[in-house]
Structure 1
Amino acid sequence: MGNAIEALESKDASVRVRAALAIGTHPDPGYVGRLIERCAVEPDFYVRETLTWALIRHPADLTVPMLVEQVRSDRSQARSQALHTLSKIGDRRAWPAITPELLTSPDDEVARTAWRAAVVLVPEGEEPELLRILATQFGRGDRELQLSLSRALVALGETIIPALHARLTDPDLRIRQHAIATQRLLRDPDAGFELAVNEAKRVDALGPGK
């Protein structure tokens, strides 16, 4: 397996994928640290996904504390990839690592992965505070980032309705339309975000109740 660890440094992405697959197929606690280190610098999306899969194949008792530590890294990719992996593991012991600073991070990828992790890891009773923070992000970023927030909110179900209603009449056009689009997705998750946005614009132009 030592060869697989060395292969994670290969210049060939396909070699790195095969190495991560080999490590995940035969989990060894001694390699978790190297997998996490590689996640922080790996440039290829598909290799990163395979690294995450390999980490998930190891015991959560080992991976979660190390990933939580990585969430505090100075490197943006290290934080976002650790959050992504924690969301896949789904162990709520990681919840304290999901701080308001991460949920409102100026780095879009860090914020996006923090939103996804938060809605998976949030303990019962903590949803209102999570919603309060997530609601401050309405209207942020481009269409793709807004879709990420909407999907995270919709995953929380009808508990988001009060937070949505508070934004439906916001004076900021971007916030208002994003809230309306999210409301549409909550009602019909299969509708698609683009359709929801277009409907939001129509509703916003006509006024409430139209």
Structure 2
Amino acid sequence: MTVTGHGTDAVRALGALRDERSSVRLSAALAIGSTPDQRFVGPLVERCAVEPEFLVRDMLTWALTRHPVADTLPLLLREVRSERAQARSQALHTLSKVGDPRAWPAITRALLTDADDEVARTAWRTAVVLVPEGEEAALAAVLVTQLGRGGQETQLSLSRALVDLGSTVVPALDTARRSPDPDVRAHALATERLRNDPDTGFAFALEEAKRVVALGGADSGEGGS
């Protein structure tokens, strides 16, 4: 599919974003991104909120990054407040790709602790990309409140975000290691293991941490150091 400046081509491309065939939607997003036009920004953002296929959503994000930030940023900032979880998640993902620091104030505690795991995971990744210099410790303090949350995939996402914050995360992890919740302590230990040895597999690190906690080690939640 090719999109030109003609109105009929634009209408056809926008219609193709809603085609029942994912291959057609993918081609439409590629064509739109290859020929940026302000008229496409709103429909691209709207489609991100409902598109069921991951590859198409990723192409929609790419198409948005091809447009001027002045056109995309206001709509993306609105979407992170949407009631639809996928809209929030995909807008956050796109903001991480755009990388504009003006989006940082929109990465709220509510998003970082969102009840939807996919939204929260995307918020963690986006926050690490956008966090201003000097704000890393404050971000880490919020992120550690999510330790022990969800399944292994969610926990790995959080650990990676914390590790990416560097040494500023150490005080927050030290506090988490003294939590009365054994799941929080184990997750904190596994994250510290990843920070010290990035080549360690997370599943192994987490199981080892759970064993240590079960045996009463790693500060045991009783205020040890």
Is the pair's TM-score, using the shorter chain for normalization, greater than 0.5? yes
Matches within 5 A, 1:35-184: 35-184=44-193
Segment drifting more, 196-205 vs 39-48: 196-205
**1:208 corresponds to which of 194, 215, 218:** 218
Q: 2:13 is paired with a residue of what secondary structure?
A: helix
**1:188 corresponds to which of 190, 197, 204:** 197
Q: Which residue of 2 aligns with 1:16?
A: 25
Q: 2:52 is paired with a residue of what secondary structure?
A: coil
Contact 2:96 2:130 (8 Å CA) reproduced: yes
Cα distance in structure 2, aligned partners of 1:180 and 1:114: 22
The residue type equivalent to 2:171 in the other structure is P
Deviations 1:107-136 (A, max 9, x none): 111111111111111111222221111111
Cα distance in structure 2, aligned partners of 1:27 and 1:102: 30
Q: Give the superposition deviation at 1:206.
A: 6.4
Q: Give the superposition deviation at 1:208.
A: 3.3
The structure number with the bigger radius of gyration is 2
Displaced runs of 4 or more, over 6 A: none
Q: Which residue of 1 aligns with 2:222?
A: none
Q: TM-score, normalised by structure 2?
A: 0.89
Deviations 1:67-120 (A, max 9, x none): 001111111111111001101111110011111111111111111111111111
Cα distance in structure 1, aligned partners of 2:122 and 2:43: 21
Q: 1:72 is paired with a residue of what secondary structure?
A: coil
Cα distance in structure 2, aligned partners of 1:169 and 1:97: 31
Contact 2:177 2:189 (8 Å CA) reproduced: yes
Q: TM-score, normalised by structure 1?
A: 0.95
Structure 1, unaligned stretches of length 5 or more?
none
Q: Which residue of 1 aligns with 2:6?
A: none
Q: Give the superposition deviation at 1:18.
A: 0.7
Structure 2, unaligned stretches of length 5 or more?
4-9, 220-225
RMSD, aligned CA: 1.4
